[in-house]
Chains A and B, each alone.
Chain A
Amino acid sequence: MASKELEENLSELQIGGNGEKKPVENDVSEGEVKVSCFTEDLQDVTLHFQIVKFSKQIYAWIGCNSAKLGHLYAAATTRPNNNVSVTSLLGGTSDNTGSSIARRIVLKTGLNVVVACNIPKDSPMLEATAERKLIERLASLGYFSPKEKYRN
């Protein structure tokens, strides 16, 4: 019942000021917004991923060894031909590490995305790995169907 869910959600507002430490691979769903966090350990680098799913948009954060926010990009299909457009919102105008990830996510999934990424520039292999892991997770969470690849 909607009212019970609302009461449960409202009672959770009484949480105190300390943040909750979420374990890796935890999915938290509150209403329609879902937050997923996971970590991938590569040989010399640890990649952290956080995916927040809204009903019409996805926010994704990719952390390379650190928990800094990094550069913020928004990407989506735009009129008139559904071409993919990407824009830098915070920082990152010259190295574009996150912008190409954001753009390719929209190309492959058709989702409207905001991506925050702190992968250092000049790391194409790392960037490709991060993008692949993120898209795999988006597919496994059911946020898009890999068979219906969005073609530009």
Chain B
Amino acid sequence: MEMSSNNLSPTEFPVLHKSFSLNIKGNKTDIVICKYNDSFMVMATQIGCMGTILHARKEESVSTDPTFHVAVIFGKRDEPFLVACARQLIEHISSYGSTRPLVLSLGLKDHSPGTMKEIIYAVMENRLW
């Protein structure tokens, strides 16, 4: 079994999380951001469930810029702005020096770029990376 590499006091929960709510175009949006040892989890919902779940990871190449791989692992596969949202966030995570992958869940009533931008800004402002 793996032992945690962090020496945590008994009262600290090992997973950091932040939970907040905002209004986007009249839709109440709940966002939860969690930081695990090996990944980040961001959940944004307007519909009371996780919705579409995406996985985004950074692939470090020896040469120049890193590349990113984004995939829908559950839910809508025909909404390009969901993929774009994940792509934006994984690049943001990478720009802060973290190589951890991101699991992003978006349960949204509308998939317009305006909504995506609001969610991305809100997540960036409350980031845990």
Tell whether A and B belong to one assembly: yes
Among A54-62, A101-109, A128-136, A138-146, the stretch that binds chain B is: A54-62
Query: Given that A45-B1, A66-B3 are known contacts, is A21 also in contact with B13, CB under 8 Å in the complex?
Result: yes
Query: Given that A15-B126, A24-B11, A54-B45 are known contacts, is A10 also in contact with B32, CB under 8 Å in the complex?
Result: no
Smallest CB–CB gap between B10 and chain A, Å? 8
Smallest CB–CB gap between B6 and chain A, Å? 8
Select A67's contact among B23, B36, B48, beta carbons within 8 Å: B36
What per-residue 1/0 map shows which CB atoms of A28-61 lie under 8 Å from chain B?
1011110101110000010010101011110101
What per-residue 1/0 map shows which CB atoms of A64-95 lie under 8 Å from chain B?
11111100101000000000000101100000
Please report the C-alpha to C-alpha distance between residue A116 and residue B38 in the assembled complex, in whole angstroms.
13
Query: Which size bracket describes the interface of B in this complex?
Result: 35 or more
Scoring A38, A50, A116 by chain B CB atoms within 10 A of each residue's CB, the highest score goes to: A50
Select A35's contact among B6, B19, B28, B73, beta carbons within 8 Å: B19
Closest chain B residue to A114, Cβ basis = B50
Closest chain A residue to B16, Cβ basis = A19
Determine the chain A residues whose CB is within 8 A of the CB of B30 once the complex forms: 30-33, 54
B12 within 8 A of A: yes
Please report the C-alpha to C-alpha distance between residue A18 and residue B84 in the assembled complex, in whole angstroms.
26
Query: Given that A13-B125, A90-B73 are known contacts, is A65 also in contact with B4, CB under 8 Å in the complex?
Result: yes
B120 within 8 A of A: no
Query: Given that A24-B12, A67-B37, A89-B73 are known contacts, is A19 also in contact with B17, CB under 8 Å in the complex?
Result: yes
What per-residue 1/0 map shows which CB atoms of B35-57 lie under 8 Å from chain A?
11111010101011110010100
9 A-B pairs, CB-CB below 8 angstroms?
Answer: A12-B20, A22-B17, A33-B45, A35-B19, A52-B43, A56-B49, A67-B36, A72-B53, A74-B53
Please report the C-alpha to C-alpha distance between residue A63 and residue B6 in the assembled complex, in whole angstroms.
14
B18 within 8 A of A: yes
Determine the chain B residues whose CB is within 8 A of the CB of A148 once the complex forms: none
Whether B1 contacts A33 by the Cβ 8 Å rule is no
